[in-house]
Structure 1
Amino acid sequence: MQIEHAVVLVSGAASGLGAATARHLAGAGARIVALDRDEKGLDHLAAQVPLAATVVGDITRTEDIARAIDSAQDVGPLTVVVNCAGGGSAPRRVLSRTGTMTDIDEWRSVAELNLVAALDVSRQAAHSMSRNDDGPSGRGVIVHVSSIAALDGSQGVSAYAATKGGLVPLVHTMARDLAPWSIRVMAVAPGVFDTPMYASLPDSIKERRQREFVYPVRAGAPEEFARLVRHIAENDYLNADCIRIDAGLRMHQ
């Protein structure tokens, strides 16, 4: 799937990995439709790179996803979706050392964002892509953002780890469901990247993570993540898998 001239929908595009992906793919000639609930962040992105459209919306709202896909279809056939929207909550153990249980409503909200909304993005994107012409590279590709927390786990992040982990078998299943339509589905599991989410972590957690890098011993640059996403989109033989990009980091606690 060639990125140049492709219509690409990027969710979570206002900052972090989503913004880096939008910038990188726009630089490669893609026509970017940027979706995020942060209107100011989208305006800032639009001032940096040419965007085909911006959509202020929340992927936990089905109608907002539909508006974004409609905006993409106004530009041309939607062939690439990169779902970077997601998040977690403050670190909380299932049962704290003082005996406080984790907040179940907070847990559910993380699941709604990271897993249920990811399915909603996928089903609506696939429905749009199914109407594209079926060429040598298929009709489209959907890329989700998982996390190394999904694969290694760490204390205090049960909601984030479980819901990002749930993306992996979801991607496997959706790739098989959508194969008759010539639509690929992939996931990327990033490690520690220099994003606003990483900047918000306590220094103690940052220091612990730095001791767990293999090489290079640093946080990843969002551009490095974006280059992998482009490769996934353009390499038609990548499907039904989750690729780690983490400098060999393995979380031990």
Structure 2
Amino acid sequence: MNIENCTAIITGGASGLGEATARLFHQLGARVAIFDRDRQRGEAIVAELGTNVRYQEVDVTDHAAVQAGVDEVLAAWSHIHICCNYAGIAPAVKTIGREGPGDAALFAKVININLIGTFNVSSIVAYAMSRNEPLDEDGSRGVIIQTASVAAYEGQIGQAAYSASKGGVVSMTLTMARDLARNGIRVNAIAPGLIHTPMFDAFPQEVYDSLSKQPLFPVRLGRAEEVAGLARHLVENNYINGAVLRMDAGIRMQPR
């Protein structure tokens, strides 16, 4: 599927992996809607990029807010062809803490944002995509890209909630692809390893250096632009469907 002249919704598009993908797709000629809660950053990106990009303050856990955001995109641009779900959080949640059981409320929050939020956006966008006219000889109507994590497979100490949420995304990907095959909609997921996002800038230098040495090869943190490049390939390659692609330089996470 050709990205040029398509409409893309990118959740978490005001920073990190989402911002990199928004910028790349805009550069390739797509109309881009950024769904994010950071209004200041989202509007700054719109001001910088100019035409064919819009920002909407959307909480992915709020079904009605997602529906309203999608309706606004359809009102502005008539169709939606691409959806990239990057919105997520990664707080530490251990099974037990120093003073008792793990924080069940925080666990639920992570699941709600990372997993249920992903389903909210995907299901609402998929319905809109199902009404598109086919874009190519394969009958493509849309592409959905989820964000998993290597933590779905090798969750480290303190990642109980995050790993569970990303494991859910992994499990949901093939099932969703099967659900939507008859509608001409492909669904894939990217499972990044250690990618340099703004979160890493807050780490002490010794922690940053230690993390940078963990990948097998190349021995460095990944770049958000590299994840965006894989998202581009997943849109353009019609024969990748129902897949979860690790993008981690061969890393296998240790317990801590």
List aligned pairs for 1:97-136, cutoff 5 A: 98-134=98-134, 135-136=136-137
Give distance in 2, aligned partners of 1:251 and 1:160: 14
Query: Which residue matches 1:59?
Result: 60
Whole-Å separation in 1 of the counterparts to 2:47 and 2:217? 35
| C-alpha displacement of 1:223 | 0.8
If the length of structure 1 is used for normalisation, what is the TM-score? Answer: 0.94
Name the residue aligned to 1:219: 221
Counting aligned pairs with the same residue, the percent is 36
Q: Aligned residue for 2:22?
A: 22
Report matched runs for 1:6-21 at 5 Å. 6-21=6-21
8 Å contact 1:33–1:71 — kept in the other structure? no
> What displacement does 1:199 show?
2.8
RMSD: 1.6
* CA displacement 1:14-73 (0-9 Å, x = unmatched): 111100100011001111011101100101211332343211111111122112211221
SS of residue in 2 equivalent to 1:78? coil
Provide the rounded CA distance (Å) in 1 between the counterparts of 2:60 and 2:227: 21
- What residue in structure 2 maps to residue 73 of structure 1? 74
Q: 1:139 to 1:196 in 2, by over 3 A?
A: same
Asked whether the 8 Å contact 1:69–1:125 carries over to 2, the reply is yes
CA distance in 2 between partners of 1:198 and 1:15 (Å): 13
- What is the alpha-carbon distance in structure 2 between the residues aligned to residue 108 and residue 208 of structure 1? 30
Q: Secondary structure at the match of 1:225?
A: helix
- Match 2:241 to one of 215, 229, 239: 239
Q: Is residue 147–residue 190 contact of structure 1 (8 Å, CA) maintained in 2? A: yes
1:92: Cα distance to partner?
3.5
Counterpart of 1:46 in structure 2 is 46
| Residues 46, 53 of structure 2: 8 Å contact kept | no
- Seen in structure 2, the aligned counterparts of structure 1 residues 48 and 249 have a Cα distance that, compared at 3 Å, is farther
1:147, distance to aligned residue in structure 2 (A): 0.8
Deviations 1:196-233 (A, max 9, x none): 22334565654443332111111111111101101100
The reply to whether residue 94 of structure 1 matches residue 95 of structure 2 is yes
Q: Aligned equivalents of 2:67 and 2:227: distance in 1?
A: 26
Q: Supply the AA of the counterpart residue of 2:228.
A: A
SS at match of 1:214: coil
Q: Could you list the per-position Cα deviations for residues 141-188 of structure 1 after superposition, in whole angstroms to 9, with x for gaps in the alignment?
A: 100111111121111010001101110110110000111111100100
Aligned partner (choices 143, 157, 170) of residue 141 of structure 1 = 143
Q: Which amino acid aligns with 2:66?
A: I
Question: For the residues of structure 1 that align with 2:210 and 2:154, how far apart are their CA atoms?
Answer: 15
Checking the alignment, whether the CA contact within 8 Å between 2:213 and 2:220 is kept in structure 1 is no
- Structure 1 segment 189-208 matched on structure 2, within 5 A: 189-201=191-203, 205-208=207-210
Match of 2:33 in 1: 33
What is the CA distance between 1:93 and its match in structure 2?
2.0
CA distance in 2, matches of 1:124, 1:92: 30
List gaps (5 residues or longer) in structure 2. Answer: none
Query: Could you tell me which residue of structure 1 aligns to residue 2 of structure 2?
Result: 2
CA distance in 2, matches of 1:32, 1:141: 14
Deviates more, 1:9-18 or 1:211-220: 211-220
Name the aligned partner's letter for residue 93 of structure 2: R
